[in-house]
C-alpha cells in the first residue's frame, strides 16, 4: 500500500473492485457517454524525483475510477502515490492505491467517489485524480523517454481500466504518458551540458561538445595545475606538445623570472640577455655582485669608459672640455659617450662639467671620481649613454 485517504472506508481492496464491477454490471454504456484516462508525465535528471498525474474525464458525472499504470522498473521506482488535486478538500469514500509486480510493474488504483452517488466529479472536465512521484534510476540513459502505460493486467485480481458513472460502466479511451530523462549532465549540476556551454557556466576550450570539467573527471583530458583549464588549451609557447605551466611545475627553474613562461620562450620573444648566456638579464641581476652600481643593468654588459675623456683618445686634455662645450652649444652629437662628459658625476651633462674639467687641468682642481684612473663602469648608477670608447675594453 502506498498511501491511505483521509476518510478510508473499512472495505478490502478486493471488495472495492468487486463493488465497482457490481455497480457497473447493472448497465453498460450505450455509446452516448464517453470517458478518458490520461497519464501526464514530466521531466528530470537521472537520480532525481519526477512527478506524473492521471486525469479522468467523462461526459457524465464520475462516480468511480479504476486503472493500472505500468512503468519500467529498471528505470523508475514509485516513491509516493497520493490523491490528486481534485480531492484537495474532500476525499473519495473509498480509495486503494497499491504498487504491484503482478502482471507487470506499476500502480493499481480503485476509487469510489461517493457511495451515495450524489457527490461525483463534474462532467466534461479533466480531473486530476492521482499524483505519483517516481525516482529516476541514476544510471538511466539520458536524454531518453520511458513510457507510462495503462495496463489492465496489473494486480491480482487484475484491475480494469474503467470509469463508472451513474451505475454505468464507461470504457475510457486511454492515453499513456511518459517520463523524460534530461541530459546529458556530466557534472551533475542539474543543467543539461549543452545549456551549461551555451550559458558559459562550463567551458569547452577544445570544442569537443563536452564541458571541460567532465573531461578532466573522466580522465580523457588532464589539468596539471588544477585551474579548470585543459592542459591542451593552456599556452604552449615552444609548441612541444606540453603546456608551459606543466613544464614549469615539473621544473620551476626553467621560469627564473616567475612570469609563467619558460625562459627559452622569453628569450625567443626578445627578452634581454645582454651577455648571451641564455639566462634572462632580469634573472642574472639577482646574482650577488652582478649589478654593483644598482643601475638595473648587468655590470658585464655596461660599456666601460674613462671619466673626463670625452673624445675617447685615452688622454684627458684641453680637447675634452672643448668637446663638452661643442656638445652643449654647437652639435649635440659631438660625442658618443655622454657618461665620460659627466666630469662632476652628477648624472647631468651641462656647463659645470666643462668648468670642472678645466679646473682639474689648469687650476689644481680635485681629480675626477672613478672611472678615471682606468676604464670602468659608472659606480653610482648614472644612466647617461655611452656606446663605445675605443681606448676602453
Fill in the DSSP letter of residue 127: E
The position carrying cell 492515453 is 175
The position carrying cell 484537495 is 88
pLDDT at residue number 23: 46
Whether the pLDDT of residue 11 is over 80: the answer is no
The position carrying cell 651577455 is 275
Mean pLDDT of the chain: 90
pLDDT at residue number 359: 95
The position carrying cell 639566462 is 279
* pLDDT tens-place string over residues 213-255: 999 999 999 999 999 999 999 999 988 888 999 999 999 999 9
CA gap 338, 387 in Å, rounded: 9
CA gap 351, 354 in Å, rounded: 5
* pLDDT tens-place string over residues 151-166: 999 999 999 999 999 8
Mean pLDDT computed over 352-363: 95
pTM over 0.75: no
* pLDDT tens-place string over residues 206-221: 999 999 999 999 999 9
Mean pLDDT computed over 80-99: 96
For residue 331, give every residue at least 6 positions away whose Cβ sits within 8 Å of its Cβ, in sequence order, or none: none
* pLDDT tens-place string over residues 273-322: 988 999 999 999 888 788 888 888 888 988 899 999 999 999 999 999 99
CA gap 172, 29 in Å, rounded: 10
Q: How far is CA 103 from the centre of its chain?
A: 47
Q: Which of 278, 286, 289, 277 is nearest to 377 (CA)?
A: 289
pLDDT confidence tier of residue 383, bands split at 50, 70 and 90: confident
* pLDDT tens-place string over residues 104-147: 999 999 999 988 888 899 999 999 999 999 999 999 999 999 99
pLDDT at residue number 118: 84
CA gap 249, 252 in Å, rounded: 6
pLDDT confidence tier of residue 22, bands split at 50, 70 and 90: very low
* pLDDT tens-place string over residues 334-345: 999 999 999 999
Q: How far is CA 352 from CA 25, 73, 256, 358, in A?
A: 128, 101, 44, 10
Domains defined for the chain, CATH in brackets: 13-181 (2.60.40.680), 185-234 (no CATH), 240-293 (no CATH), 302-393 (1.10.1330.10)
C-alpha cell at 293: 652600481
CA gap 302, 71 in Å, rounded: 85
pLDDT at residue number 262: 94
Q: Does 362 or 11 have the greater pLDDT score?
A: 362
Whether the pLDDT of residue 377 is over 80: the answer is yes
pLDDT at residue number 137: 97
Half-sphere exposure of 287 (CA within 13 A, CB side): 12
Whether the pLDDT of residue 86 is over 70: the answer is yes
Region label for 286, one of left (φ > 0), alpha (ψ between -120 and 50) or beta (otherwise): alpha
| Strand 177-181 versus strand 43-44 pairing type | parallel
Amino acid at each position: 500500500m502506498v498511501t491511505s485517504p483521509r476518510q478510508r472506508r473499512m472495505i478490502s481492496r478486493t471488495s472495492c473492485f468487486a463493488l465497482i464491477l457490481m455497480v457497473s454490471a447493472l448497465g453498460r454504456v450505450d455509446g452516448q457517454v464517453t470517458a478518458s484516462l490520461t497519464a501526464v508525465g514530466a521531466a528530470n535528471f537521472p537520480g532525481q524525483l519526477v512527478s506524473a498525474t492521471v486525469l479522468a474525464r467523462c461526459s457524465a458525472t464520475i462516480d468511480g475510477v479504476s486503472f493500472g499504470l505500468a512503468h519500467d522498473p529498471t528505470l523508475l521506482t514509485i516513491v509516493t502515490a497520493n490523491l490528486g488535486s481534485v480531492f484537495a478538500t474532500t476525499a473519495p469514500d473509498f480509495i486503494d492505491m497499491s504498487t504491484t509486480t503482478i502482471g507487470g510493474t506499476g500502480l493499481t488504483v480503485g476509487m469510489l467517489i461517493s457511495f451515495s452517488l450524489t457527490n461525483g466529479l463534474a462532467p466534461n472536465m479533466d480531473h486530476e485524480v492521482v499524483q505519483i512521484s517516481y525516482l529516476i534510476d541514476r544510471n538511466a540513459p539520458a536524454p531518453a523517454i520511458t513510457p507510462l502505460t495503462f495496463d489492465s493486467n496489473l494486480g491480482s485480481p487484475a484491475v480494469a481500466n474503467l470509469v463508472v458513472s451513474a451505475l454505468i460502466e464507461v470504457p475510457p479511451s486511454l492515453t499513456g504518458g511518459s517520463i523524460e530523462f534530461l541530459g546529458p549532465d556530466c557534472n551533475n549540476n542539474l543543467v543539461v551540458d549543452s545549456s551549461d556551454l551555451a550559458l558559459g557556466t562550463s567551458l569547452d576550450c577544445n570544442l569537443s561538445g563536452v564541458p571541460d570539467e567532465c573531461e578532466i573527471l573522466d580522465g580523457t583530458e588532464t589539468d596539471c595545475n588544477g585551474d579548470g583549464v585543459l592542459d591542451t588549451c593552456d599556452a604552449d609557447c615552444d609548441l612541444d606538445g606540453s603546456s608551459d605551466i606543466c613544464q614549469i611545475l615539473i621544473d620551476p627553474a626553467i621560469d627564473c623570472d616567475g612570469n609563467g613562461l619558460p625562459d627559452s620562450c622569453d628569450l625567443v620573444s626578445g627578452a634581454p640577455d645582454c651577455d648571451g648566456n641564455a639566462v634572462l638579464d632580469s634573472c642574472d641581476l639577482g646574482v650577488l655582485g652582478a649589478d654593483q652600481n644598482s643601475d638595473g643593468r648587468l655590470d658585464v654588459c655596461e660599456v666601460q669608459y674613462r671619466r673626463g675623456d670625452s673624445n675617447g683618445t685615452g688622454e684627458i686634455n684641453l680637447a675634452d672640455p672643448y668637446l663638452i662645450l661643442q656638445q652643449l652649444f654647437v652639435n649635440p652629437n659631438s660625442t658618443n659617450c655622454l657618461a665620460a662628459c659627466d666630469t662632476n658625476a652628477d648624472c647631468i651633462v651641462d656647463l659645470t662639467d666643462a668648468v670642472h674639467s678645466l679646473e682639474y687641468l689648469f687650476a689644481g682642481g680635485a681629480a675626477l671620481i672613478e672611472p678615471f684612473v682606468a676604464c670602468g663602469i659608472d659606480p653610482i648608477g648614472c644612466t647617461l649613454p655611452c656606446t663605445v670608447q675605443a681606448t676602453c675594453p
